[in-house]
Amino acid sequence: MRIILATSNQGKVKEFQSWISEYEVVAYSDVMPAFEIDETGLTFKENALIKARAVYEKLERKDDIVLSDDSGISVPSLGGIPGIYSARYAGINANAKENLTKLIATLKENGLAKTPAFYTAAIALVCAKGEFCVHGWMHGEAIAEARGNNGFGYDPMFVPCGFEQTLGELDESVKKAFSHRARALELAYIVLKSLK
Ligand SMILES: O=c1nc[nH]c2c1ncn2[C@H]1C[C@H](O)[C@@H](COP(=O)(O)OP(=O)(O)OP(=O)(O)O)O1
Ligand SMILES: [Mg+2]
């Protein structure tokens, strides 16, 4: 039994592969040709399930478990943006840098040097025994500048609660211990262990 990661985001692949030690973890594009998955859901949970199902349907080995992640950053003072639209914030084909630059510009336009923000991750598991979904969150502040090169996505503008530096500046061990994805993965492990 392997864990097949239903994601095209190399930052997520890197985190899951370094954090999950008990299982063989493979990016889905290593076992099938990569394909587009329309994230048409209205919640992180719906989108995570859409991604995991799409990959499980195409799997040859149905004894494998597909794990997906749908995640994003939300800024409550601006109505929760970009939320589930984080990956598409600067446009449908926007890259991570463009999304980061746009969110910084939006904070500046609203006169916000910093403002509370949080990351959400929904992790879905799809396998022969059924479908499961768990969540994790990480709270902190979004700041109107980018600092550091660690992590990915919005990390250079995110300062976690209890820290002064951004996730771009902090050691990767901080995300492993406290991130939305790590917290969701803790719960996913409980499900995984019950599936053995
Ligand atoms: O730990 C994180 N550190 C920084 N940024 C993050 C993080 N977690 C999610 N994010 C941002 C990146 C992207 O703008 C969006 C996820 O969008 P999301 O659709 O789930 O992922 P994606 O399109 O990059 O890859 P895929 O759908 O193939 O898994 O939230
Ligand atoms: Mg996506």
Asked if 133 and 174 touch (Cβ cutoff 8 Å), the reply is no
Asked if 11 and 151 touch (Cβ cutoff 8 Å), the reply is yes
Number of domains present in the structure of the chain: 1
Which of 99, 71, 95 is CA-nearest to residue 183? 71
- Walk along the chain (196 residues) in steps of 10 and give the mean pLDDT of each run: 96 96 96 97 98 97 96 98 98 96 98 98 97 98 98 98 98 97 97 90
- Residues ≥6 apart with Cβ < 8 Å to 110: 77, 78
Host domain of residue 135: 2-195
Asked if 78 and 105 touch (Cβ cutoff 8 Å), the reply is no
**Residue 87 belongs to domain with CATH number:** 3.90.950.10
What are 75's two structure tokens? 């800024």
Residues noted as catalytic: 70
Of all ligands present, the nearest one to the C-alpha of 172 is 1
- What is the model's pLDDT at position 196? 73
Report d(CA 182, CA 190) in Å as an integer. Answer: 13
Report d(CA 125, CA 3) in Å as an integer. Answer: 9
- What is the model's pLDDT at position 133? 98
Ligand 1 pocket at CB < 6 A = 7-9, 12, 39, 51, 69-73, 86-87, 99, 119, 151-155, 179, 181
